[in-house]
Amino acid sequence: MVTAAHFGAGLFGTRYPRPRFAALPLPRYNFTMLALSSSFLGLSYLLTRWCGSVGFILANCFNMGVRITQSLWFIHRYYGRSPHRPLAGLYLSPALLGAFALSGGITSVSEVFLCCE
């Protein structure tokens, strides 16, 4: 549920800031990317030593989450005073959230009664 929204935001967000480099100071963007890459390297080293290959996957998930959040923040700031709301499409409808909850409930009940005696 959240992963699909993050994936969609990541696809849009990582491509979006590039055309606006004329208005943004490039050194600030480069510093942000350097900080994100450095934190990924450090975190992947620590988590890999602690959890093995799963730690590397966790570090990658954390890195992508931070990058997506940074991109969403950039888009939100860019359109802050505009009537356009490009991020509004990321909100999930109550019907879809209800379907997810119902599916999770049915799965949990079937796991208890039908799985692995």
Per-residue pLDDT reduced to its tens digit, 34-71? 888 899 999 999 999 999 999 999 999 999 999 899 88
Count of structural domains, the chain: 1
Q: Which of 12, 13, 2 is nearest to 67 (CA)?
A: 13
Domain assignment present for 68: yes
Domain assignment present for 41: yes
pLDDT digits (tens, 9 = 90+) for 70-103: 888 888 888 888 898 888 888 899 999 999 999 9
- As given in the structure block, the two tokens for residue 87 are 């991020």
Give the amino acid at 8.
G
Domain assignment present for 47: yes
CA distances from 79 to 56, 85, 91 (A): 35, 7, 17
Residue with tokens 């699909």: 4
Q: Which of 72, 85, 78, 68 is nearest to 10 (CA)?
A: 68
Assess whether pLDDT exceeds 70 at residue 2: no
To the question of pTM greater than 0.85 for the whole model, the response is no
Domain assignment present for 66: yes
Assess whether pLDDT exceeds 60 at residue 12: no
Domain assignment present for 7: no
Domain assignment present for 10: no
Domain assignment present for 2: no
Domain assignment present for 56: yes
Indicate the Cα dihedral angle 19, 21, 23, 27, nearest 10°. 170
Phi, psi of 75 (to 5 degrees): -65, -40
Structural domain boundaries enclosing 86: 28-115
